Amino acid sequence: RYSTIHDLCCDIWREIFEYFEITDLFITFASVTIAADQVLFDDNNRFFSRGLTLGVDIKDLPKHISLNRIISLTLHDTFCLNIIEHCIERRSLKLISVIQWVTDIVRNIPQTNTKLNQLTVITPTIRSLPELLTTVLSVSSLRRLEIRTDELAKSFPVSTLRAAQSEIKQFIIDSGSTVDWNDLSSSLPAFDCIRLLSIGLIDRCQKSISSCIFQKIHTLSLGLLEVSFNWIIQLVAKIPCLAKLKLSGLVDADGFVVNQRWICLFESSLTLLRIFVNISLEQSEESYHCEKIQAPLRALSLSLICDCDNNDCNLYDGNARQWWYLRGTITKH
């Protein structure tokens, strides 16, 4: 006897539906079989907890989707339906478009909605970060803010945010442009409750740190672009509650590999417990194989490896230079 689609039981349909987006489920499978409908329209199903994404390929929203059960919502500006106000249970909102559209959407979020605690903004260009943050801070229920952009203005206005104190605990900013620590810090006085701060790209052109408003930071993640080790020591010393430091990116050798000063970070911060390292640097192939360099790093649980399989080595003054990777976790003893 051959089985047909009508022979599939509810448990099989549940397994099948795990591989589809919400909109695809209701567009493709509604009214296909009785068993499929039993799963789709069951009030206890968990499909809505996966999140709803509305973009360029969605022209009409299936009528069977219960917007008041959506917990996570992703919107592109090409989707015109005004649905945010109907998603009363949403906890997470992701907005993908130009900055003007994003700010318009955020301004129209009902102030009565107190369940939205995560906001992600993905936009090509940000000319004024303080202006965007002023708008975002109007949503008082936010606890996590993530901003991803290709281009961020090199400097911020001198004026600081004119907004109420924020309860945001996690702030992630990932940009194709570098961020100046002092500019960022001076522009965010309302963010003094942050416990996790992640900056995607910070470069060597950092000034001396006069103060740090982020007094409650527990975890700090930095994407480095040839930042000096001395500057990192300065920064760590200014953050009184720092427990975890995560460093990634491209660095010079001094402090990180040659004359390494990792222990100085623990001496600068009595609360620092762990340093997570995932950095790269470029140097002559034979430079770092010696035990004089390798042994102290191993003692810190760090691994320094040369990418010997990389055929794209560069030549400087006739000497081949290759990529080296320093990885590991340093724990305070």
- Residue 315 is predicted with a pLDDT of 52
pTM to 2 decimal places: 0.82
SS3 assignment, position 291: helix
- Residue 41 is predicted with a pLDDT of 75
- Residue 221 is predicted with a pLDDT of 97
- Residue 15 is predicted with a pLDDT of 84
Q: Tokens 């402090």 — which residue?
A: 255
The answer to whether 137 touches 163, Cβ cutoff 8 Å, is yes
- Residue 276 is predicted with a pLDDT of 98
- Residue 307 is predicted with a pLDDT of 82
What are the pLDDT tens digits along the chain (333 aa)? Answer: 677 888 888 888 888 877 777 777 777 777 788 888 888 777 676 666 567 777 666 656 666 677 777 888 888 876 555 677 777 788 899 999 999 989 988 888 866 567 899 999 999 999 888 889 888 888 889 999 999 999 987 655 544 555 567 889 999 999 998 888 888 887 777 788 899 999 999 988 777 776 667 789 999 999 999 999 999 999 999 999 999 999 999 998 889 998 889 999 999 999 999 999 999 998 866 678 889 999 999 999 999 998 865 555 555 555 567 889 999 999 998
SS3 assignment, position 256: coil
DSSP secondary structure string for all residues of 34-62: HHHHHHHT-TT--GGGG-EEE-TT--S--
- Residue 17 is predicted with a pLDDT of 79
